[in-house]
Structure 1
């Protein structure tokens, strides 16, 4: 066999082998299409679609650390600096339905108090649809009227309960008129066991809150009442707000149906005294510039407890707050008073 024949034979063999393995050739798979996160702005800033669903999600929260000197809520406190750090995580969802947005609100809080063990609080957890809300939120006695002033120590004189289970219906006419009716769990939240020693064992009747409001231009008016079914008493609050741009102000008054008793809605002052027959709160906020705001709140009760707080809220950059605050409380019935201060740093997201 000559060289030419050898070369031709080798070439033929290679062709045959290549043909035999052609069916086994590796073919690269087509890449899966990427699904980028889509913005969902129908429910406000910060929402985005959960990939592969029609549900919108918003993630938020805050990290806060603050030093506190003395205590505006306790006349016996004579401690020096107490350092407190908190983190909160909030998850909100929304999906469009034929009855309007189906929403959830979940919020969890972790606190570290001056070197003690971390405490965890399931702060809020609720579902809402078509004006109805069910789950754990602050009482509508507070939510509907709005909380007291833009200060940290805003409830040295209590203006109602916070976290509790409820079934609530909110109505908004779209012309400034709003209303609320809420059935609230009598066995959850502060005062659930009866503020005056009432026995809540086997108690099934709920508490009830109802309110109406109207807003026109710079002015807003709210009226709300709450009934504590364990104590069998309640309270009524009325509030007026005004916002003129260069400053905002509010005044709020509360009436206790039995001035000799505490109840969940007329929940007294920080040392467990009743309001008496009434309590009043007022405050003003003055935006000095885009980064600086001054606030003042005053409160007083029929039982002569007086509370005053002032602060400055400074935002050196967006979502960062530096807030020094000073408070003074006088409990006339026990002839004691207290000065207190807080310096807060907070990053929100």
Structure 2
């Protein structure tokens, strides 16, 4: 089965078309690991009309009307069936020390709100850390389609938190890590080293671990290796 992930027109801060939800992109997704979002932090594919303002002082603000997407599967409520679209808005500030931002999404079909905040800190020129937290007004319903989950809150329960780091060892190697945990005791950790073998060719081995502290024998390990050629 084939599909189009991104197809949009963007001009002067305005964007219209299909792409990832502003709720996920405005807070810069999560980290540099391959398996980011093992504890999910937001939806992706959606039809969207959006505008982003970027000021010279590092301040940014954005707003979007979104439709959702039926391919989000069991972790979201899919396409809205209401007359009103989903609404997303966010503000952020980027300075030399890092970045801070908050974004909120309103699911007009479920009539629920999700809010997510993120803080990035540049410890040195080659090392940074982030922490991100989210809350869902309808989180007790559970993260699946049959329970009518908020499109903007695919994590389990009312809240979720994430943290991570990126450390550039040298010109070729960068270490990335991400930890996630939510209200339903879902836990995840993933770490990798992205190594630029030659300019334009990156090899990234990664290890990941997931568990649910409330369910016996639910832990699992995984290993991935990505070979990426950029032309």
Residue 303 (structure 1) aligns with: 184
Residue 290 (structure 1) aligns with: 171
CA contact (8 A) 2:50 2:64 kept: yes
Question: Of 49, 56, 59, which residue of structure 2 is paired with 1:174?
Answer: 56
Matched, 1:158 2:37: no
Shift of 1:203: 3.0
Gap runs ≥5 in structure 1: 1-118, 269-274
Residues 37-56 of structure 1: pairs in structure 2 closer than 5 A: none
TM-score in terms of structure 1 length: 0.60
CA pair 317-133 structure 1, distance change in 2 beyond 3 A:
same
Question: Of 312, 317, 326, which residue of structure 1 is paired with 2:193?
Answer: 312
Residues 61-76 of structure 1: pairs in structure 2 closer than 5 A: none
Which whole-Å CA distance do the structure 2 matches of 1:346 and 1:120 have between them? 21
Matched position secondary structure for 2:99: strand
Matched position secondary structure for 2:33: coil
Matched, 1:265 2:152: yes
User: CA RMSD, aligned part only?
Assistant: 2.0
Which whole-Å CA distance do the structure 1 matches of 2:79 and 2:223 have between them? 38
Structure with greater contact order relative to length (CA < 8 Å, sep ≥ 6): 2
Shift of 1:188: 5.0
CA pair 193-296 structure 1, distance change in 2 beyond 3 A:
closer
CA contact (8 A) 2:104 2:115 kept: yes
Gap runs ≥5 in structure 2: 142-148
Residues 1-349 of structure 1: pairs in structure 2 closer than 5 A: 119-186=1-68, 188=70, 190=72, 195=77, 202-243=81-122, 244-261=124-141, 262-268=149-155, 275-335=156-216, 336-349=218-231
How many residue pairs get aligned? The number is 222
CA contact (8 A) 1:259 1:277 kept: yes
